[in-house]
Amino acid sequence: MAEATNPVRIDKWLWAVRLFKTRALATEACAAGHVKVDGKPVKAARTLRVGEIVTCRCGGINRTAKVKGLIQRRIGAKFISDHVEDLTPPEEYERAREISSNSRPAMLNYPKGLGRPTKKQRRLMGEVDWLKG
């Protein structure tokens, strides 16, 4: 894969290395102050340099990554390790797993064959979806 020689915007890089699903989500995270470079909040247009440490709050996890390479385009998941080094502590992933497993009410595992859920049951399922997003 060819590396970019031109400066890369942080929102574009976050999307390209698959920390965010869309570039718009990466831009929103920057605007909300959830993305920091070397401990300082940054705007979406800030350019990155190799060796910088990026911390972002995405998907309920505080992810920490070191920039190993600059890329402009989204690449396959196999090639991500050439451009980013994941420094996120394993405890962070474990905490996120615990939160997601504890927050699921019994209604999400609605038994098959019992028919359509009641309005109250659908509302409960909707609350869980709302909390995730």
Q: Tens-of-pLDDT digits for all 133 residues of the chain?
A: 445 467 899 999 999 999 999 999 999 999 999 999 998 999 999 999 999 999 999 877 899 999 999 998 998 889 998 999 989 888 888 887 877 666 555 555 666 777 888 888 878 777 655 445 4
Contact 10, 25 (CB under 8 A): no
**C-alpha span between 82 and 59 (Å, rounded):** 23
The tokens describing 118, both together, are 């009641």
**C-alpha span between 129 and 132 (Å, rounded):** 5
The tokens describing 5, both together, are 């020689």
How many CA atoms are closer than 13 Å to the CA of 26, on its beta-carbon side? 20
Sheet containing 84-86: which strands, arranged edge to edge? Answer: 40-41, 35-37, 53-58, 61-67, 84-86
For each of the domains in the chain, give its residue range(s) and CATH number, in order of start: 8-102 (3.10.290.10), 104-133 (no CATH)
- Give pLDDT tens digits for 41-65: 999 999 999 999 999 998 778 999 9
